[in-house]
A and B are shown apart, each in its own frame.
Chain A
Amino acid sequence: DGGITQSPKYLFRKEGQNVTLSCEQNLNHDAMYWYRQDPGQGLRLIYYSQIVNDFQKGDIAEGYSVSREKKESFPLTVTSAQKNPTAFYLCASSLGLAIILNEQFFGPGTRLTVL
Chain B
Amino acid sequence: AQSVAQPEDQVNVAEGNPLTVKCTYSVSGNPYLFWYVQYPNRGLQFLLKYITGDNLVKGSYGFEAEFNKSQTSFHLKKPSALVSDSALYFCAVRDDTDKLIFGTGTRLQVFP
Partner of B32, one of A4, A9, A100, A105: A100
CB contact between B98 and one of A4, A92, A99, A108 (< 8 Å): that residue: A99
Closest residue of chain A to B93 (Cβ to Cβ) is A99
Q: For residue B105, which residue of chain A has the nearest CB?
A: A42
- Among B54-93, those with CB < 8 Å from A are 90
Query: Is there a chain B Cβ closer than 8 Å to A115's Cβ?
Result: no
Q: Inside 8 A of B45's CB, which chain A residues have their CB?
A: 106
**Which residues of chain B have C-beta atoms less than 8 A from A98's C-beta?**
98
For A97, what are the chain B residues with a Cβ–Cβ distance below 8 Å?
Answer: 98
- Please provide the 5 A-B residue pairs with the shortest distance between their CB atoms, ordered closest to farther: A106-B43, A42-B102, A43-B102, A106-B44, A99-B94
Contact of A108 among B41, B46, B49 (CB under 8 A): B41
A6 to B42, CA, bound (A): 11
CB-based nearest B residue for A103: B46
Enumerate A97-115 residues with CB–CB distance to B below 8 Å.
Answer: 97-100, 103-109, 111
CB contacts (< 8 Å) of A108 on chain B: these are: 41-43
B49: which A residues are within 8 A, CB to CB? Answer: 100
